[in-house]
Amino acid sequence: MTLMRSDLVPRGGDATTSLRDRAWVIPLRLATGGYVLDSGLAKWGADDATAEQLHGFARGAYPFLGKVDPATFTTALAAGEVGLGAALLVPLVPDVVAGVGLLGFGGALLGLYARTPGMRRPGSVFPTPDGIPLAKDAWLVAIGAALALALGERTRDRRRRPSVTRRRRPLGG
């Protein structure tokens, strides 16, 4: 079987995606990017008491964080949130890259929700009143998954469209 150049390029003739095809991701990226960026900026330069509180909360769910200094942890958390928020807001960052980042971040927050005592009703995945702020981070996971899965969906949609007749050429020719 000979691999053809047209096998590597989705139907439609080029590997780029039109704005119309990507329009649905814009509100998702703006809402989450703005939210995550603001959260990171708010943590930037946090005082010692805030750093201790954030670190203690995270350490309760993720014990390995006990080895990290609270100020270092808070600075790294802030930098990660600023970076992720910026990646979501900058359209040059591919949807799948921004989506995987958001999926990981949201997953870590849901892990915090699942592992922290008092956040969930006994025997249930549903939150107590104290757990609602963390349980709401499920939307970050959902949006991250949608962005990460968008690449495959756009490729499948493009393959369904009728293509212009084109000559198939072997690679390198």
Number of domains within the chain: 1
Do the domain assignments include residue 165? no
Domain of 57? 25-158
| Residue in the structure block whose two tokens are 């807001």 | 89
Does residue 164 lie within any of the structural domains? no
Query: Does 75 reside within a domain?
Result: yes
Report if residue 20 sits inside a domain: no
Burial class (CB in 10 A: 0-12, 13-18, 19+), 168: exposed
Specify the pLDDT at position 11: 43
Q: What's the pLDDT at 161?
A: 52
**CA–CA separation, 105 and 103 (whole Å):** 6
Would you state the pLDDT for residue 150? Answer: 82
Q: Is residue 42 part of a domain?
A: yes
Let me know if residue 169 belongs to a domain. no
Contact 141, 107 (CB under 8 A): yes
pLDDT at 81: 97
Distance from C-alpha of 155 to C-alpha of 36, rounded to nearest angstrom: 29
The number of residues making up the chain comes to: 173
Does a structural domain hold residue 10?
Answer: no
Which pLDDT score, from 0 to 100, does residue 36 have?
A: 97
In the predicted model, residues of the chain with pLDDT beneath 50 are 3-15, 154-157
